[in-house]
Amino acid sequence: MIVWLVVLVLVGRATSDVRSTNLCVLNDVKNAEKMKMMNEINLLNNERFVVTSNDYTYVVTMCNSASKEAEGNANVIRTKVPEHNVTVLGRYNNTDIVGRDEWRIMTFADGDVIRESSTCNGTKWKTLVILTCDPDVSMLELIDPLNVGCVSIFLLKTSIVCHPSQSVGVIIFYLVLVLILCYFLIGMAYKRFVTGAKGLEQIPNYNFWRDPTAWAQDLIGKQERRSEPWQRVSADAADEPLLHP
What is the CATH classification number for the domain harbouring 33? 2.70.130.10
The whole-number pLDDT of residue 16 equals 37
The pLDDT tens digits for 19-59 are 345 788 988 888 999 999 888 888 888 888 998 888 889 99
Domain encompassing residue 82:
5-158
Residue 123 lies in a domain: yes
The whole-number pLDDT of residue 74 equals 93
Residue 154 lies in a domain: yes
Q: Of 158, 176, 200, which marks where a domain is finished?
A: 158
pLDDT band at residue 238 using 50, 70 and 90 as cut-offs:
low
On whether both 13 and 87 belong to a single domain, the answer is yes
Higher pLDDT pick, 98 / 185: 98
Instruction: Compute the average pLDDT of residues 168-190.
Output: 82
On whether both 176 and 152 belong to a single domain, the answer is no
Residue 187 lies in a domain: yes
**CA-to-CA separations, 127 to 47, 76, 111, 152, in angstroms, rounded:** 17, 8, 8, 5
The whole-number pLDDT of residue 82 equals 83
Number of folded domains in the chain? 2
The whole-number pLDDT of residue 197 equals 82
The whole-number pLDDT of residue 17 equals 38
For every residue of the chain, which 3-state class applies, written as one string?
Answer: CCCCEECCCCCEEEECCCCCCCCCCECCCCCHHHHHHHHHHHHHCCEEEEEEECCEEEEEECCCCCCCCCCCCEEEEEEECCCCEEEEEEECCCEEEEEECCEEEEEECCCCECCCCCCCCCCECEEEEEEEECCCCCEEEEECCCCCCCEEEEEEEECCCCCCCCCHHHHHHHHHHHHHHHHHHHHHHHHHHCCCCCHHHHCCCHHHHHCCCHHHHHHHHHHHHHHHHHHHCCCCHHHHHHHCC
Instruction: Compute the average pLDDT of residues 118-143.
Output: 84
The whole-number pLDDT of residue 183 equals 84
The whole-number pLDDT of residue 14 equals 37
Please check the confidence at residue 2 and state whether its pLDDT lies above 50: no
